[in-house]
Structure 1
Amino acid sequence: MDEFRKHSVEFYDNMLLDGAKLAPEEKLFSYKGVLYPATVCCAETLTALETFEARRDDVILTGYPKTGTHWLDKILNNVVDIGAKYTEEEKNKRIDIENELAMPPRLEFVHADKLKMMEKLPSRRIIVTHLTPDTLPKSIFKNKAKVLVLIRNPKDTLVSYFHFINKMSIFPTLTWDSFFRDFMNGKVGWGSYFDYIKEWDKYIDDENVTALIYEELKENPNLGLKKIAAFLGYSLNEEEIQKVIEKSSFKVMMENGPNTLGKFTDIIFRKGSVGDWRSMFSDSQNQEMDRKFEECLAGTKLGAKINYEVYCKM
């Protein structure tokens, strides 16, 4: 196992161990009215992000929890690796620096005193986060970094998030009905799904921001990869696109999980399917979500992209 994979496994193992030591009421903290997991986030880091300097060639991947950010992170790394056409010397230099820094997998997980170290990371940096634009560094928008906003329908997101938190020691354990209520009220880690979509909707017409729909990427990965490559300024041929699809498939990522994620593998990978919400939602919960979507997102551009009538109706 190379050093980066070793550090990655250690990060996830320590995260789970630290989470198990906390009482349920200690596992989440509030920052500007939004809840975050105390094991991996802290107010000091979220404040320090205000002065973080993004680069013009950075790629920012943002998605609400359990919308597929781990999967898209893998896709992006493969696209950039192939599209940038790095020499062997450049590849080795990147690997050495990444191994040395061993940065956590999400921007908000990087401790405040280590954010400066990210300057050592070579371009093109891929920065993954669950944060909304008002919490992210303003330099991302000022310097016109490329931003990919990943969107998944709210019903499948809720179900996936529920199963996730009940396997994760960093979150309080909840019943389905309790978590449903908290999700609908935005009282979960990283706050309201609906507020997340509404905040990013304000930026969706920016030429440096594009939305990717989880369901569409699942149904037609070839088309999705072409869109991603074009947005990032790369020209990938069909063979290269197929190579990325194969390397980032659910099956391959599951098989490689023990080497990069350790015990976290069985937590983060479950089904990755579309429509699983039908196995969990009661009739009343289904109607409540339909009303909430209509109230909060029906008139937004991102809400329209979710294609709610197709993916969230019985």
Structure 2
Amino acid sequence: MTEAELYSVYKDVYVPTHLHPPECLKYYEDFTFRPDDILIVTFPKSGTTWMQEVVPLILSEGDLTPVLTVPNWDRVPWLEEHRAISSIWSRDLLHVSFATHFHHSMMNESYFKMKPRVLYVLRDPKDVFTSSYYYYGMASYLVNPGTQDEFMEKFLDGKIMFGSWFDHVKSWINAEEKESILYIFYEEMIDDLKGSVEKIAKFLGKSLSPDVTEKIADHCVFKNMKQNKMSNFSLVPEEYMDQKKSEFLRKGIAGDWKNLFTKAQEQRFNAVYKEKMKDVMFKFMWD
């Protein structure tokens, strides 16, 4: 199926209509933030699921119950998704964290007024592309990626869901409310998950003991998280996600793009990256 059949255009970017019907987007526009809300913001395939595991465990101070008994889309609801309306969650102490793939410019009026705490996760765009390529091939609500070359051109042009990776990242790293944003890299979580948990906990105002930090980091190692049926999307019907084609949580590594890209594709990607990011002063882990 084509983009016209599967996607709608919302604030100038494609969103999958099945996941983000008009009534959900309207719900988001009217959503009222609180200053103590926690917002996990990512471009798709940049570590959202991982952060949806880490944050609830920090908030529960290491109690595994929420991540072992509640699907991740209910424990950290998406602001723009249909479950935000239909799920049973309420804004009690258990639900102060939310997720979104929106660009900074797509945030609603309440966001800019209340300035909730934001965890913005960044990942090497070549790995984002690689993970996305497999994801688009297994999810029925996304346009089939076609060949790697075809999908690369769409990715580099921002003709994919939630638009351009370059625009997304630049919009958030240039946000004025930097005092309420923690920038964290997927790669640093791989390199030092325990240190990353400590860093996130400090930002969220949580003082965790070394034992609790260790417990959270151990549970959230990718191979352990991948076994958690509340987090690995195995509960999603096959008609929406065919995990026989590709697992939703695949490898959880840095540098997997090297197993996919041809030399020509690497050169093409690098050239576009260099041009689009030439004026950016932000220090990325992968540069």
Bucket of the pairwise TM-score, normalised by the shorter protein = 0.7 to 0.9
Are 1:167 and 2:151 counterparts? no
Does the CA-based 8 Å contact 1:159-1:280 persist in structure 2? yes
- Using a 3 Å threshold, how does the CA distance of structure 1 residues 73 and 301 change in structure 2: closer, same or farther? farther
1:284 to 264, 281, 284: 264
Deviates more, 1:42-51 or 1:134-143: 42-51
Distance 1:33 1:55 in 2: 27
Q: CA deviation at 1:167?
A: 0.9
Q: CA deviation at 1:268?
A: 1.4
- The count of corresponding residues between Structure 1 and Structure 2 is 275
Report the equivalent of 1:7. none
Distance 1:258 1:211 in 2: 26
Q: CA deviation at 1:308?
A: 3.2
Q: CA deviation at 1:295?
A: 1.9
Matches within 5 A, 1:61-76: 61-76=40-55
Distance 2:89 2:107 in 1: 15
Deviates more, 1:22-31 or 1:135-144: 22-31
Report the equivalent of 1:250. 222
Q: Deviations over 1:52-109 (max 9, x none)?
A: 10111110001011111001110011011107x9xxxxx99xx99x89x958842211
Does the CA-based 8 Å contact 2:40-2:118 persist in structure 1? yes
- Using a 3 Å threshold, how does the CA distance of structure 1 residues 249 and 113 change in structure 2: closer, same or farther? closer
Report the equivalent of 1:308. 286
Distance 2:21 2:273 in 1: 31
- SS of aligned partner of 1:149: strand
Q: CA deviation at 1:123?
A: 5.6
Distance 1:128 1:291 in 2: 32
Q: Deviations over 1:136-162 (max 9, x none)?
A: 223223212100100001101100100
- SS of aligned partner of 1:255: coil
Q: Which runs of 5+ in 2 are unaligned?
A: none
Distance 1:284 1:191 in 2: 24
Does the CA-based 8 Å contact 1:150-1:212 persist in structure 2? yes
Does the CA-based 8 Å contact 1:31-1:43 persist in structure 2? no
Q: CA deviation at 1:301?
A: 4.4
Does the CA-based 8 Å contact 1:55-1:143 persist in structure 2? yes
Distance 1:124 1:82 in 2: 14
Matches within 5 A, 1:87-102: none
Report the equivalent of 2:39. 60
Does the CA-based 8 Å contact 1:156-1:276 persist in structure 2? yes
Matches within 5 A, 1:263-278: 264=236, 266=243, 267-278=247-258
Q: CA deviation at 1:233?
A: 0.5
Report the equivalent of 1:136. 107
Does the CA-based 8 Å contact 1:60-1:127 persist in structure 2? yes
TM-score by length of 1: 0.78
Across the aligned residues of Structure 1 and Structure 2, the Cα RMSD in angstroms comes to: 3.0
Does the CA-based 8 Å contact 2:11-2:106 persist in structure 1? no
Does the CA-based 8 Å contact 1:204-1:211 persist in structure 2? no
Are 1:107 and 2:79 counterparts? yes
Report the equivalent of 2:25. 46
Structure with bigger helix share is 1
Are 1:199 and 2:199 counterparts? no
1:155 to 104, 120, 126: 126
Identity among equivalent positions (%) equals 27
- Using a 3 Å threshold, how does the CA distance of structure 1 residues 131 and 259 change in structure 2: closer, same or farther? closer
Does the CA-based 8 Å contact 1:105-1:128 persist in structure 2? yes
- SS of aligned partner of 1:30: strand
Distance 1:125 1:105 in 2: 10
Distance 1:197 1:24 in 2: 23
Report the equivalent of 1:19. none
TM-score by length of 2: 0.85
Distance 1:52 1:277 in 2: 37
Q: Which runs of 5+ in 1 are unaligned?
A: 1-21, 86-90, 310-314
Distance 1:145 1:123 in 2: 16
- SS of aligned partner of 1:268: coil
* Structure of greater Rg: 1
- Using a 3 Å threshold, how does the CA distance of structure 1 residues 210 and 72 change in structure 2: closer, same or farther? same
Q: CA deviation at 1:177?
A: 1.4
Q: CA deviation at 1:262?
A: 2.5
Does the CA-based 8 Å contact 2:77-2:97 persist in structure 1? no
